[in-house]
Amino acid sequence: MKVSEIQIDCDWTASTKDKYFYFLKKLKPVSQKTISATLRLYPYKYPDKMGVPPVDKVTLMCYNLINPLADQSKNSILDLKELESYLNTRKKYPLHLDVALPVYSWMQVYQNNQFTSVLYDVDEIKPHLKELKPLWYEVQKDTAINHETYLRVGDKIKYEEVTADKINKAIALIKKNVKFDKEITVTLFHLDEKQLNNYSNEEISHFYSDFTQ
């Protein structure tokens, strides 16, 4: 298969952007490929402060908006108010924009009130959880996960789920606030069979087609 594009994934900062941008400039003539880069929402909203990467196009990463351990009341994968706060800029980004959306959920495990791990195999755990409050659950039965993680009665779980309805609302916010070219690439992260089973084929198709309507 012939590769025509190379995408670089890097969460650069104001202090690292010069070295990172220098690397991107050198990569283009060496590779002779289309060069794209991932773009987090902060540098999207503040290009004057964070710079614009010297690439052909960027993919706007519309997920992981909050430090997972920083706010216990919000879904760190996709919080719609947080998303909107970064998108409400009237400036058009000076590069072609593609977009990436989350199609995964995870559980953060807290034992003795201390964060210990992240679990992606959530279906195996769900039957043994009791809801305490929005996002938060308590383990009701000692459970071994993949012979690696052992959950004990009383352990706390923060379950961050991304439903089809939440993705559709995110798409509506993105389309309302972001100016796209006629053709864009929509990326779903990540293409894992277990995670994708949480959505119907029709729902997944709409995640793509909604951007062209």
Cβ neighbour number for residue 30 with a 10 Å cutoff: 7
Taking only the tens place, the pLDDT of each residue in 4-48 is 999 999 999 999 999 999 999 999 999 999 999 999 999 999 999
Is the pLDDT reported for residue 195 higher than 90?
no
Calculated CA dihedral for residues 120, 174, 46, 180, nearest 10 degrees:
120
The confidence band for 192, taking pLDDT boundaries of 50, 70 and 90, is: confident
Using DSSP's 3-state secondary structure scheme, residue 124 falls into coil
Q: Which whole number is the average pLDDT over 49-62?
A: 98
- In terms of C-beta density within 10 A (0-12 exposed, 13-18 middle, 19 or more buried), how is residue 203 classed? middle
Taking only the tens place, the pLDDT of each residue in 143-185 is 888 777 899 999 999 999 999 999 999 999 999 999 998 899 9
What's the whole-model pTM score? Answer: 0.91
